[in-house]
């Protein structure tokens, strides 16, 4: 399967433009999110095909709680339906589900389904699909800082022992490598509080199209672009 050289190990995606896509088609925003769920399937299939090991999707930001109550409820319901209907495929595709963010803020029913799918797919080993839910990077870094401070207070760590590695280990993403490739749709040139620490060296590829228009071929195109770029990590 892994025919192309230099496949990114970890792809992260900011899925943007569901609302604008819906507006463009004269549809309610909820329809845009529903169409966006189809694109999520496409992204997973493409990553499976390429042999990508980690796919992280920005599904709901900390700031998204400020949207109208009905939209938030619709998104949670869509997520529940997606997880329930996708479980069989995830098992067949050997995909492990993982989630990052302030998960305790999710509605109880959403959290229950999420945890159930995480448990059931726990031994799958081809692709780790991580959903960032109620996620904000500054909150993640702040909470890591608090936990490190607690360890210092308890005498488990000395200030001069704090390294980049120690900080990484206290982030929600402790168990995964940093993203190699960050994709964003909708043409916006922003990182929107997503994995700020982790994308330090990621290649960024922006698509002008809205997320519901995103297809497998777009993942292949982004990976081809990634492969063209010379990655120097600040060296020569």
Q: Which listed range, 36-44, 121-129, 200-208, 214-222, lies at the site for ligand FPP (CB under 6 A)?
A: 36-44
- Cα-Cα-Cα-Cα dihedral sign, residues 74, 77, 83, 84: negative
Which tokens is 84 given?
């329930």
64 catalytic per annotation:
yes
Nearer residue to ligand FPP within complex by CB, 59 or 148: 59
| Interactions with ligand FPP, residue window 107-136 (CB under 6 A) | 131
Nearest Cα neighbor of 58 from 164, 226, 235, 188 is 188
Which tokens is 75 given?
């998104």
- Choose, by CB under 6 A, the member of 7, 13, 55, 59 that binds ligand FPP: 59
Does 43 engage in binding with ligand FPP (CB under 6 A)? no
Answer whether 187's CB lies under 8 Å from 168's CB.
Answer: no
Return d(Cα 231, Cα 236) in angstroms, integer. Answer: 9
Q: Which listed range, 48-56, 59-67, 89-97, 165-173, lies at the site for ligand FPP (CB under 6 A)?
A: 59-67
How would you label 124-146 residue by residue, b for 16+ Cβ within 10 Å and e otherwise? Answer: beebbbbbbbbbbbebbeeebee
Which tokens is 13 given?
């995606």
Determine how β-strand 10-14 pairs with β-strand 54-61.
parallel
Which tokens is 112 given?
């229950």
- For residue 63, give the DSSP letter: G
Q: What is the dihedral of CA 216, 64, 76, 87, to 10 degrees?
A: 30
CB of 124 to ligand FPP, least distance (A): 17
Does 36 engage in binding with ligand FPP (CB under 6 A)? yes
Nearer residue to ligand FPP within complex by CB, 23 or 170: 23
Residues linked to residue 99 through DSSP beta bridges, in sequence order: 131
From 2, 6, 64, 115, the catalytic residue: 64
Q: Which listed range, 11-19, 89-97, 172-180, 220-228, lies at the site for ligand FPP (CB under 6 A)?
A: 11-19
From 16, 18, 180, 218, the catalytic residue: 16
Count residues binding ligand FPP (CB under 6 A): 19
Q: Which listed range, 18-26, 114-122, 142-150, 174-182, lies at the site for ligand FPP (CB under 6 A)?
A: 18-26
CB of 219 to ligand FPP, least distance (A): 15
16 catalytic per annotation:
yes
Residues making contact with ligand FPP (CB under 6 A): 15-20, 33, 36-37, 40, 57, 59-60, 64, 78-79, 82, 131, 211
């Amino acid at each position: 399967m892994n025919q192309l050289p230099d496949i990114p190990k970890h792809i992260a995606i900011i899925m943007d433009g569901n609302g604008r896509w819906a507006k463009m088609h004269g549809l309610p925003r909820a329809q845009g999110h529903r169409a966006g769920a189809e694109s999520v399937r496409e992204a997973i299939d493409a990553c499976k095909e390429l042999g990508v090991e980690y796919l992280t999707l920005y599904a709901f930001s900390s700031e998204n709680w400020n949207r109208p109550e009905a939209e938030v409820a619709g998104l949670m319901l869509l997520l529940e339906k997606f997880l329930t209907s996708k479980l069989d495929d995830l098992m067949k595709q050997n995909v492990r589900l993982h989630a990052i963010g302030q998960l305790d803020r999710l509605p109880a029913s959403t959290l229950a389904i999420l945890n159930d799918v995480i448990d059931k797919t726990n031994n799958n080993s081809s692709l780790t699909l991580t959903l960032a839910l109620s996620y904000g990077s500054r909150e993640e870094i702040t909470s890591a800082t608090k936990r490190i401070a607690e360890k210092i207070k308890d005498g488990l760590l000395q200030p001069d022992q704090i390294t980049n590695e120690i900080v990484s280990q206290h982030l929600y993403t402790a168990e995964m490598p940093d993203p190699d490739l960050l994709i964003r749709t909708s043409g916006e040139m922003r990182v929107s509080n997503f994995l700020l620490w982790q994308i330090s060296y990621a290649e960024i590829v922006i698509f002008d199209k809205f997320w519901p228009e995103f297809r497998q071929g777009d993942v292949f195109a982004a990976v081809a672009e990634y492969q063209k770029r010379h990655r120097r990590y600040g060296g020569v």
